[in-house]
Chains A and B, each alone.
Chain A
Amino acid sequence: MNTQVLNTLSVAPRAANRALGAYLQEIRCEALRTVRNPGLAIPVLLMPVALYALFTMVVTADAIDRDPSIGIFLFSAFSIMGATMPALFGIGATLAMEREMGLLRLKRAQPAPVAGWLVAKIVCGVGFGVLSYAPIALLALLSGKIALEPSQIFAMSLVLIACSIPFCAMGLMVGALVRGSAAPGYANLFYLPGCYLSGMFFPLPQSMHWQAPIWPQFHVGQLAMHAADVTKFQFMPAQMSIAALVGFTVLFSAIAVWRMVSKG
């Protein structure tokens, strides 16, 4: 009798479509939050394309006409920025804020799917990367400031979008290490040195080449150049760069998991 009572209390397993529904709701809410947070959305979505327009149309317009490889170089630099910044800043800032306001604690208590929030953050990080990168690609194609075939740009685009994943992991790490509004500052601390020291924005002097591979941006750039088959800017085999990015992703994720397990 009592066992029967208990059986009615135990909870039945869940239909797969409801589980999928929970993931979709999680993604929808994460996307709405990003869109409704102009402090985050505007700089991250508009800055890369605005800077790309400024540099290619105004600052280096003549130089690109003389040497088309400069156009490819700049396109790669701002595309990397566009594809990776939303992942890092979006995830880092929201996760840090959520930890501060106890939201993750609530989600752990609720029957939310374990990976729901993480999947939502990664999907939105990658998705906003696409939104930020697409206008740069469009502008490059329309303005003719890039000497690549559309198919090369397409291959490059796929690689760039995939390469936002390590920056999702970096965002998780930043969000797990710091709390609240300090996160964007710390994210910059991780991100900006890599932009300059990886040789992404300007060619590095020979003496600094040794350190470029320690920055994830360098490997993203290398993979983009392999995908587009631009041999002039290939400095490292694609397999090494894939391995390095996988390594960075594992390292950042491990630090994030360790931190969140030990500190919550």
Chain B
Amino acid sequence: MNNNSPDQRLHALDAVRGFALLLGVAFHAALSFMPGWPPGIWAMNDNSPSQFLSDAAFVTHIFRMSLFFFIAGYFGRLLYHKLGASAFWANRGQRIAVPLIAGWVVLFPLIGYIWITGITKVLGGVAPTMPEMPKTPGAFPLTHLWFLYQLLLTYVAVLAIRSIIARLDPAQKLRNLVDKLVSGSIRSLVAVFTLGIPLAGALMSLGFWFYWQGIPTPDQSLIPQIPASVGFGTAFVFGWLVHRSKESLSAIQQRWFQHLVLAVIATGWLLHTMHAQPMAQPGLTKTLFALVFGVALWGWVLGLTGAALRFLSNYSAARRYIADASYWIYLAHLPVVAGLQVWVGHWPLHWSMKYPFILIASFALLFLSYHYLVRPTFIGKLLNGRKHRVWGRKPDPAPPAAPSPLSPAPKTPSGGATVAQLRGVTKRFGSVTALANIDIEVRQGELLAVLGPNGAGKSTAISLWLGLAEPDAGEATLLGGSPQQLESRRGLGVMMQDVELPKELRVRELLALAASYYDDPLPVEETLRRAGVTNIADRLYGKLSGGQKRQAQFAVAICGQPRVLFLDEPTVGLDIQARAAMWESIRSLLASGCSIVLTTHYLEEAEALAHRVIVINKGRVIATGSVDEMRALVACRQISCETQLVAADVHSWPGVTEVRREQGRLHIATTDAEGVVRRLLAADATLARLEVRQAGLNEAFNELTREAA
């Protein structure tokens, strides 16, 4: 189940869009190495052609533009609903139409010059005759910027259809049905087999179809071409519908692997068939090729998007930078790539040296141009909506774009801000509900003890805060962000149960490694001192006793100066002195403003350290409050005395909840201490050494969990 916030999902989709565009650069960089291409189709025919690059280019060409249009459809609807119709068109005009026109004016002469130079070189110094544009209406050399033109046409068509549907379906019944169909078809893998059918129909109708070209590129005409309009239009509309339907993204995320497997199988078949016969002949093979092409295309589109949602949902400054840069890079790449291809075309080197050279040199030039000429200037603002400083020191990485629904932070009665929170969280494992609509918050500078019997859900709650699991419903936050984000986790320290550190490393080495994960860690010597492990600093972890291992793990947990520390049974196996020392460290961490979440079976530990206690049982919070409040929750008090009375008789008295005899003394838990004492004294004249005391956390815990059971 996917519960990434919308912002996290956008990080993944941004990454996919950037990938599709950068893949285009790699695709074009391969085109001078195509075996058997006659001069003139591309700027250069390299003297070391490559079947491998031809196949690789075919594979990327199957899906890269459809992937782009799919994501464009998703973001298109998002933008349309965010901005409204007029602001949407203003935005698209600025981001799409202006780059199309300005880009074409600048790039077309450059591209033309490089093409003529390259073809002249291929023809051994003879200048080629200028190719004439086909004399058909609308003919126009759009170059690689055709996709912007196609995108604008698609916006017009889709918004026109949208307004018609909005009139025909005012109650949204039809659209709700479509939403269900969309998510259901993704989950059941029906989508991957059916979405390509309209495109297959358009491809089958082509009289002249060179399999390698896939969807014929509509770069020669302003009149919309049928296969491209059908293929990219389907991708755009499906992206739009995926944004409509709430469940679809999580379905895509869940099925990433299956989609990629289908894509690989279908692509393998296409390659095999294409090698046998590169040009489509009417007949069964052409029909099959067109249909399988659709499966491969949608397998890659849905598989890659799903994999990105699964693995790239976290904010990453590097990925964000690349995604921002990708639009400029794709717009500007063609003269750079083609120029390099022309330059190296006759070098006496194998393609496996030249192709990487072209790729690396192109990306280096394009990223440098982006960094210095685009990102900090009006071009960057035009393309990406904002200007950055050159070195991006200040405002640059703004992880979760939208304000968190959590802010402003709720305050504790004592004024501490919330540093970690589970809100309405449900988590299931199969049929077992580990947490049921649970709300817990941790405030700045407090120690929250989480208590509960085994299997109550304590570990599940902690694992949500640590980003090890995602809630099925509700939200887990850590330091204002998602625990899945590395940036949030840089403020946490953790000591887990049942974890062994590498036995071949010394404690000092373990600390140096853990400290390297943080921005402002303590010096290793200081960590050793604070955790009281200086004496074992140079010993191998595998040679330590159980208690020493826990101490070393505690040192690892605190080395990064965490703002939230999760301690899972930290003192198990420690002797009394070591435990006292660890308690002391914990207290000084609290004094420095660190918040701590502690799970422990030693209730006296919670009693000694906790500001607040929360008791969980069967996945629900059954009580929460300060230690005193918890004790008060239980009206019961403890009476103990030396007496001849029989325990079973006393147990039957009114107000007595529990009686046990230990070492000659009778221990009675009661809600009516005064009444029971009077009756005890009356019933046994020899009664001695009478004690009455308020219930401790131990009794409170037993009482609470018994009531809940």
Contact = CB atoms under 8 A, between A and B. Distances in A.
Interface of A: 1-3, 5-6, 9-15, 18, 21-22, 24-26, 28-29, 32-33, 36-37, 98, 101-103, 105-106, 108-114, 239, 242-243, 254, 258, 261
Contact of A243 (B52, B257, B466): B52
Contact of B500 (A10, A22, A102, A111): A102
10 tightest A-B CB contacts, nearest first:
A2-B408, A101-B500, A109-B466, A102-B499, A25-B516, A36-B504, A22-B516, A111-B489, A111-B490, A33-B504
Contacts of A258: 257
B519 A25 contact: no
B128 interface: no
B502 interface: yes
B239 to A, nearest CB: 25
B490 A6 contact: no
B513 interface: yes
Nearest to A8: B417
Interface in B462-507: 463, 466-468, 479-481, 486-492, 494, 496, 498-502, 504-505
7 contacts: A2-B417, A9-B419, A11-B481, A18-B516, A28-B509, A29-B502, A105-B496
Nearest to A239: B52
Main secondary structure of the interface of A (DSSP, over half): helix
A32 B509 contact: yes
A102 B257 contact: no
Contacts of A25: 512-513, 516
A13 B316 CA distance: 9
Contacts, number: 132
Given A6-B417, A112-B517, A239-B51, 6 more contacts: A11-B487, A13-B397, A14-B317, A18-B519, A32-B505, A105-B499
A176 B601 CA distance: 33
Given A29-B509, A109-B466, A103 B408 contact: no
B516 A109 contact: no
Interface string B279-294: 0000000000000000
A254 B257 CA distance: 9
Given A6-B407, A111-B492, A106 B499 contact: yes
B536 interface: no
B310 interface: yes
Interface string B450-467: 000000000000010011
B494 A32 contact: no
Contacts of A105: 468, 496, 499
A162 to B, nearest CB: 12
Contact of B310 (A12, A29, A239, A261): A261
A110 B397 contact: no
Nearest to B563: A9
A108 B467 CA distance: 8
A157 B134 CA distance: 54
Given A18-B516, A111-B486, A102 B310 contact: no
B442 to A, nearest CB: 12
Contacts of A111: 486, 489-490, 492, 517-518, 560
Contacts of B156: none
A110 B408 contact: no
Interface of B: 50-52, 257, 260, 310, 314, 317, 396-397, 399, 406-411, 417, 419, 444, 463, 466-468, 479-481, 486-492, 494, 496, 498-502, 504-505, 509-510, 512-514, 516-519, 540, 560, 563, 566
B52 A5 contact: no
A32 B504 contact: yes
A109 B467 contact: yes
A98 to B, nearest CB: 8
A13 B487 contact: yes
Contacts of A102: 496, 498-500
B257 A21 contact: no
A33 B193 CA distance: 49
Contact of A21 (B467, B492, B516): B516
A108 B464 CA distance: 12
A76 B468 CA distance: 45
A126 B230 CA distance: 48
Given A33-B502, A101-B500, A106 B494 contact: yes
B189 to A, nearest CB: 16
A109 B498 CA distance: 14
A179 B354 CA distance: 43
A234 B69 CA distance: 45
A49 B491 CA distance: 48
A239 B350 CA distance: 12
Contact of B519 (A9, A15, A254): A15
Given A2-B409, A33-B504, A9 B516 contact: no
Contacts of B314: 114
Given A2-B409, A10-B481, A243-B52, A101 B499 contact: yes
B420 to A, nearest CB: 10
Given A9-B480, A25-B516, A261-B310, A113 B499 contact: no
Contacts of A254: 257, 260
A250 to B, nearest CB: 9
A183 to B, nearest CB: 15
B556 to A, nearest CB: 8
Contacts of A2: 407-411, 417
B416 to A, nearest CB: 9
Contact of A22 (B50, B463, B517): B517
A254 B310 CA distance: 14
Residue in A5, A9, A37 with the greatest tally of chain B CB atoms within 10 Å = A9
Nearest to B315: A13
Contacts of B52: 239, 242-243
Residue in A2, A11, A33, A254 with the greatest tally of chain B CB atoms within 10 Å = A11
A11 B502 contact: no
B511 to A, nearest CB: 10
A101 B410 CA distance: 38
B569 to A, nearest CB: 14
Contacts of B481: 10-11
Contacts of B517: 22, 110-113
Contacts of A22: 516-517
B471 to A, nearest CB: 16
Contacts of A112: 517
Given A21-B516, A101-B500, A108 B397 contact: no
Nearest to A101: B500
Nearest to B540: A36
Residue in B502, B518, B540, B566 with the greatest tally of chain A CB atoms within 10 Å = B502
A13 B317 contact: yes
Nearest to B312: A114
Contacts of A36: 504-505, 540
Nearest to B351: A239
Contact of A10 (B468, B479, B514): B479
Contacts of A26: 513, 516
